[in-house]
Structure 1
Amino acid sequence: MTTDTSKIDQLIKTHNPFAGHIVVRPQQIWGKSFPDVPSINSHASNAVFDAIDKINRGQLQTVGITITAEKGLGKSHIISRIRHQLQTREDSLFIYMSKYDNLNQIQYQFLQSVTSSLRAFIRPDVMAFQEIAAELINESMGWKHTTEQYISSVFPKLLKQSLVKYNSVATVVETLRNHIEQKKPNITNPYIIQAILWTLSTNQINAANFWLSGKELPEAHAQLMGLPNITDSDKENQALNNVRQILDIISDYRVPVICFDELDIADIADNGFTAAQVIANLSKDLYNNLKKGVVLLAMYPDTWNQQIRVLPQAEAVIDRLVTEKSDRQPIELRYLNSDHVVALVQTWLKEFYQEHQQIPPHPLYPFNENKLRELGKGKPTIRVVLRWCAENFIPGVTPPPVNPVKGYYQSELDNIDPNSFMEDELSIVVALKLAFISLAKDRVELENVKVEAVEEIVTTKADEGYLNFRVVGNNRQVKIGILVLQQSGGKFIGAALKRLINYKKFDFTRGCLIRSKKISSGASVPQQCLKTLLHKQGGEWVKLQSEDIQPLLAISTIYYNCRTYELTEEEIFDFIKQEKIAINNPLIREILSDPSGQEPDNLTDDDLPMRIPQSVENSDDIKLNI
């Protein structure tokens, strides 16, 4: 490292570590987080760690903890701290939910969050699901292999031997499952165990995770893995039962810490309950049924007082959401004091200078400690301090006006994981819809289509859940039906495409399928529908590509969390227009352009083919007589 004030001053002019980093997003919860000062609101995070310790000592079984704080006071910072500290421990697993896109199917959405959390890496190249799979086998078989050994050598060799001996890779997995069932008679759905075991196969882990998430596999692939597919009509009904089973399995080895964040949204379920109320009732159910675990909720004080305390049988809910405090009140986060402000700023700057290999003249450079302490006397929130730092980072210079959305947009864009969203149909639909709404606001003409409106598609119950929305333009001479379809399963694909080609019923002039994956050539109904769409009805299949959808996802995340970012909708629409996020987006332009009538090139394989390793080196001689 070097000390060169001129270099540091030049660095400060071009890099502001505080700009656009005022709001903690889910990406920071899981990935690289903001710099943390453990002493700030340590009473809240310590409550979670203490609860885990008491559960491990057998003093408690299940603990409910609710944290309340005003906007910007640091709820998500605390959750990020908890997640990252649990990452270093071997006695717990972190499960996180912050998206509530469909409150009417909250159990299915919760299953998605649970399985997504358990796909996270708990150490390099080892997912939580894989760790649990290794524990299951070792306990039932009396083996002592590490998870890494199972992934790299033991499990591939077992699969290969099973294929040679029984002409089926599923046989050995089913045999292991049978042994595990004998040890765990409380598991009523043994296929959950079987799918967890499949996560040890590097070739089949995606399919196993897909099935555990409640999604349908291609039928041939499900048969090869010995897993029954769940029908769409049963998904919501089975979701909570499957979650309970997964959590029961986990809790034999680790304490699940289940965290619900971002509850202060305005969405309402069909039964009239808000997101916070829906999750409070779900948390009550979890508390009553968990073998052991911590249920953690974070919300605004107003949400607690105006939504949770007025629930039917509110006392029963509150007793389970706040179990460790005699007054049954949530844990309140505290405002910062002068010492906290100095420690916070110094921690952020320390990481900034280390990253750029510079040694500043003093740890708070370019800030003045007295000014920071003065700021702390006003008992600010973390967000207020970080915003002040962003605005005053260049000494003696008032930063030029910048679109308030820009920093947040860049931060969201930088933190999008390209591997995490391509199966998230709902987020993709929401992002596309926002882009078209932005074009419709200004009646933009693009690819010979003047976009005038984005309309919901009114359907009967039988047609519900298949089509997404309609783009209308050119004095209603153009009405494009949009279908984002990333999931597998020929039955669902066929059902969705049948509706996409029914132009008369759904008032389309053309249908547009948006998909990145092939559709099996053996799926007769989908293939027939595709021929009709592409060759007879002038429809189009637009290839979904991650680089095209990422900017739309980033701005969509900001738009639907504008209260958190303290932005207005108009500011966001102005930014979309200013940066040409929608008008220059290749995916948006392709949807509006004249259909080619051809299937896209270079689609990814949707069949999830079964691949068995041809050779396994450095593995023990494991016998199959198990």
Structure 2
Amino acid sequence: MISSSASTIEEINAAIESHNPFVERGAAARGQDVWSKGLPDVPSLNAHASDAVFQAIQQVNTGESKVTSIAIIGQQGTGKTHIISRIRQRLLEEGDNLFIYASASHFTDLKLINYHFLQTLSQSLNQTGKQNLKQWQELAIAILIEAYNHVGKHDQAEKISQYPQDLIHTNFPAAIERNNKFIDSLVAVSLLIKPNVDPDIIRAILWTLSEIHAPYAIKWLSGDSLSEDKATELTLPNNLQEYQEAKAFEFALQILGLISDYQPLIICFDELEGVSTDDSSSDKSQVIAELVKNLFDSLISSSSHGIVILTAMLPDTWKVKIKSLPGGIPHRVSAATSEPIELKYLNADSIVELVSLWLQDFYNHQDLVPETPVYPFTENQLRDLGNYKPTIREVITWCANNFVVPKVETPIPEVNPVQVAFEKELATVEASIETLIEDKPKLAAALLLSFSNLVGKTINDVTIERIEKVEPVNLNKGFIDFKVIANQNEETLKIGVAVLQQDNSNQVLAGLKRLIEYKTFDLNRGCLLRSKDISENSTQLQEGLKKLLSPKLAGKWVILEAEAIKPLLAILFVSKARENYDLSKEQVNEFIEQTNLVVDNSLIHQIISES
């Protein structure tokens, strides 16, 4: 309970010396903040932008438009992600809309843009929405209620609507146990209502109501393959890796169309300005703009309705890279307002209001009441900042650097912005490691970045000379991720590194076969990274593994441990989003070197060691 009278200055100063809320939360808003309880928000700040989005949502909800889009532009730190967070929180409190958040910082390979979008769509739907339900479960319940109403079971439909948690924890598992054709019967009824929807998509969505089966159903809905046994158990065809990108867009469209039959939704693209890890010359923001156009055109020509697409970017991204694109792309990115909505800088009043809000959270959490809402700052200090028209990020950074007990002799503590960004991304990695440990492109990109930072360095008598692509590309087909060229005792090492996390044994076999083709790919050591067992029932797999580990090939199998890959993934995400964090490549590299993040990593040591 919060005290009603002001706390003593000693109590308040002790709290200030113990915790710095501006450092702990960080100045840069990131995607994980959108899904949290929300950033401290001043509703009046850039209200013109969020109001325009809610107006667009109202238009599609009432049928004035089937699909529309809005672009928001603002300099780094002006609050683009804050606006998206505000929209998410308000929809959660008031609306029936489902919410999709797509941070382009995780779109690591532009050649797989549709697959990345499908993954993001699935991950967003796996976030909690209303009534403590995952958004996938909200969709599944809507399908189930419609099916029951269609066959006249109106009482059951009403009961599900009122008590959805009972359905998930008790009734649905019991129904599956009583009748192994229960899912089949629901799919059959749904197909009578929606004959053009892929029955396997309906089946997988319904499986999300089973707590035991939901992780596998969501993995399948993300476009990833399952083990043969699990695919058979769920009666789902397996997704083959070589067709992931080709099928991903149509897969995503079907899911979006299905959602729009029951609930309006908003799709938010953010952080367009990061860099990709592929070797294409394409610009990420332009590729995403083209994706938005393709989504817009496909959705508006279908039966889908009630969809808003929001894209947030820097002003120069719009002016230099998007506005001049052909084929009507700019109009599809900003259909509702023609021109993007520009965010404004903070003024004196909004700075005081923003800092007061952050400090209110801090003091409430500490059960303290300061004499003034902005202590240890003064209102005059904050108002003076308004003369420079700062961004939100600049104000929070200033507060982080000056959040000290007001004594002249007290030095201002320096805040390492890379450390703040790293800890923020690491928390996200910790929360989603079960998904990330299956994501070959991100795992490979994290290892590639790590080894790239080791070029010229020596670890255990092994000197890393360079990192190379694996050629011939048409034969490798992406199975071997990259090649480490190193020197050990005047002997050249050519280590092929392959992350093989697939459940599908055929995919693992395909990767293993390439990893032992030393002559074809100019290797003299192959390194398989995998966290799971390799099927002992597959003779071919066991023979391939035996050959890799034989004294002749001297290859190795490194267990892909989650704890070891987490920091490498976190620094990868910092690197990809460094523009959003106001960081330079040099700052990130310096942090990696100063912290020995890569040099001391056990995975790195195992990959380059002989045994």
Q: Is the 8 A contact 1:23 1:565 kept in 2?
A: yes
SS of the residue aligned with 1:95? strand
CA distance in 1, matches of 2:135, 2:119: 15
CA distance in 1, matches of 2:331, 2:540: 52
**Where does residue 314 of structure 2 map in the other structure?**
300
- 1:556 and 2:572 correspond: yes
SS of the residue aligned with 1:343? helix
Q: Is the 8 A contact 1:91 1:253 kept in 2?
A: no
Picking from 497, 521, 528, the partner of 1:513 is 528
CA displacement at 1:176 relative to structure 2: 0.9
CA distance in 2, matches of 1:572, 1:323: 38
CA displacement at 1:454 relative to structure 2: 2.3
SS of the residue aligned with 2:498? strand
Instruction: Report the AA paired with residue 274 of structure 2.
Output: I
CA displacement at 1:385 relative to structure 2: 0.6
CA displacement at 1:226 relative to structure 2: 1.3
- 1:214 and 2:227 correspond: no
Change (3 A) 1:12 1:331: same
Change (3 A) 1:375 1:243: same
Instruction: Report the AA paired with residue 258 of structure 2.
Output: I
Picking from 16, 19, 24, the partner of 2:23 is 19
CA displacement at 1:532 relative to structure 2: 1.5
Instruction: Report the AA paired with residue 409 of structure 1.
Output: F
For 1:38-73, what per-residue CA distance to the aligned partner results, in whole angstroms no more than 9, with x for missing partners? 211112112222222222222222111100111111
Picking from 549, 555, 561, the partner of 1:545 is 561
**Where does residue 397 of structure 2 map in the other structure?**
387
For 1:66-117, what per-residue CA distance to the aligned partner results, in whole angstroms no more than 9, with x for missing partners? 0011111111111122122222345111112123212222111111111111
Instruction: Report the AA paired with residue 121 of structure 1.
Output: T
**Where does residue 622 of structure 1 map in the other structure?**
none
SS of the residue aligned with 1:217? coil
- Larger CA deviation: 574-583 vs 291-300: 574-583
CA distance in 1, matches of 2:23, 2:193: 54
Q: Is the 8 A contact 1:437 1:453 kept in 2?
A: yes
- Which consecutive residues of structure 2, in runs of 5 or more, have no partner in the other structure? 150-155
**Where does residue 101 of structure 1 map in the other structure?**
108
Picking from 337, 340, 344, the partner of 2:350 is 340
Change (3 A) 1:547 1:392: same
CA distance in 1, matches of 2:36, 2:516: 42
SS of the residue aligned with 2:501? coil
**Where does residue 65 of structure 2 map in the other structure?**
60
Q: Is the 8 A contact 1:119 1:129 kept in 2?
A: yes
Change (3 A) 1:120 1:403: closer
What is the TM-score when the length of structure 1 is the normalising length? 0.88
**Where does residue 333 of structure 2 map in the other structure?**
321
Q: Is the 8 A contact 2:289 2:329 kept in 1?
A: yes
Q: Is the 8 A contact 1:216 1:489 kept in 2?
A: yes
**Where does residue 239 of structure 2 map in the other structure?**
230
CA distance in 2, matches of 1:513, 1:91: 46
Instruction: Report the AA paired with residue 571 of structure 1.
Output: Q
CA distance in 2, matches of 1:445, 1:23: 35
CA distance in 2, matches of 1:497, 1:339: 62
Q: Is the 8 A contact 1:268 1:275 kept in 2?
A: no
**Where does residue 351 of structure 1 map in the other structure?**
361
SS of the residue aligned with 1:450? strand
For 1:556-588, what per-residue CA distance to the aligned partner results, in whole angstroms no more than 9, with x for missing partners? 222222222222222222221211111222222
Q: Is the 8 A contact 1:342 1:372 kept in 2?
A: yes
CA distance in 1, matches of 2:253, 2:514: 35
Change (3 A) 1:50 1:232: same
Q: Is the 8 A contact 2:277 2:445 kept in 1?
A: no
**Where does residue 486 of structure 2 map in the other structure?**
473
Q: As a proportion of its length, which structure holds more helix?
A: 2
- 1:148 and 2:165 correspond: yes
CA distance in 1, matches of 2:555, 2:382: 61
CA distance in 2, matches of 1:576, 1:401: 18
Instruction: Report the AA paired with residue 5 of structure 1.
Output: I
Instruction: Report the AA paired with residue 128 of structure 1.
Output: Q
SS of the residue aligned with 2:206? helix
CA displacement at 1:333 relative to structure 2: 0.6
CA displacement at 1:402 relative to structure 2: 4.9
Written as runs of structure 1 = structure 2, the 5 A alignment for 1:138-217 is 138-142=145-149, 143-144=156-157, 145=160, 146-162=163-179, 169=180, 171-187=181-197, 189-217=198-226
CA distance in 2, matches of 1:125, 1:544: 33
- Larger CA deviation: 266-275 vs 244-253: 266-275
Q: Is the 8 A contact 2:109 2:441 kept in 1?
A: no
SS of the residue aligned with 2:70? strand
Instruction: Report the AA paired with residue 70 of structure 1.
Output: Q
Instruction: Report the AA paired with residue 487 of structure 1.
Output: Q
SS of the residue aligned with 2:453? helix
For 1:241-274, what per-residue CA distance to the aligned partner results, in whole angstroms no more than 9, with x for missing partners? 1111101111111112111111123559888642
**Where does residue 35 of structure 1 map in the other structure?**
40
Q: CA RMSD in A?
A: 2.1
**Where does residue 454 of structure 1 map in the other structure?**
467
SS of the residue aligned with 2:509? helix
**Where does residue 324 of structure 2 map in the other structure?**
310
SS of the residue aligned with 1:439? coil
Instruction: Report the AA paired with residue 408 of structure 1.
Output: A
Indicate the percent of aligned positions where both proteins have the same amino acid.
40
CA distance in 1, matches of 2:497, 2:449: 13
Change (3 A) 1:278 1:568: closer
CA distance in 1, matches of 2:240, 2:568: 31
SS of the residue aligned with 1:259? strand
For 1:6-41, what per-residue CA distance to the aligned partner results, in whole angstroms no more than 9, with x for missing partners? 132122223211126011111112224431112111
- 1:433 and 2:451 correspond: no
Change (3 A) 1:542 1:535: same
Change (3 A) 1:153 1:415: same
CA distance in 1, matches of 2:51, 2:133: 27
CA distance in 1, matches of 2:557, 2:23: 40
CA distance in 1, matches of 2:588, 2:331: 41
**Where does residue 624 of structure 1 map in the other structure?**
none
Instruction: Report the AA paired with residue 102 of structure 2.
Output: M
CA distance in 2, matches of 1:561, 1:265: 5
Instruction: Report the AA paired with residue 433 of structure 1.
Output: L
- 1:133 and 2:140 correspond: yes
Q: Is the 8 A contact 1:392 1:398 kept in 2?
A: no
CA distance in 1, matches of 2:472, 2:69: 41
- 1:277 and 2:286 correspond: yes
SS of the residue aligned with 2:351? helix
For 1:399-453, what per-residue CA distance to the aligned partner results, in whole angstroms no more than 9, with x for missing partners? 2445442222223223431334222222222222222222224x2223x422232
CA displacement at 1:471 relative to structure 2: 2.1
CA distance in 1, matches of 2:258, 2:192: 13
Written as runs of structure 1 = structure 2, the 5 A alignment for 1:541-620 is 541-595=557-611
What is the TM-score when the length of structure 2 is the normalising length? 0.90
CA distance in 1, matches of 2:381, 2:60: 45
CA distance in 2, matches of 1:113, 1:172: 30
- Which consecutive residues of structure 1, in runs of 5 or more, have no partner in the other structure? 163-168, 596-626
CA displacement at 1:480 relative to structure 2: 2.0
CA displacement at 1:543 relative to structure 2: 1.6
Q: Is the 8 A contact 2:271 2:577 kept in 1?
A: no
For 1:120-161, what per-residue CA distance to the aligned partner results, in whole angstroms no more than 9, with x for missing partners? 111475211111111111111223214322211222122112
**Where does residue 241 of structure 1 map in the other structure?**
250
CA displacement at 1:118 relative to structure 2: 0.8
**Where does residue 603 of structure 1 map in the other structure?**
none
- Larger CA deviation: 474-483 vs 362-371: 474-483
- 1:378 and 2:395 correspond: no
Q: Is the 8 A contact 1:104 1:269 kept in 2?
A: yes
Aligned residues: 581
**Where does residue 341 of structure 2 map in the other structure?**
331
Instruction: Report the AA paired with residue 64 of structure 1.
Output: S
SS of the residue aligned with 1:440? coil
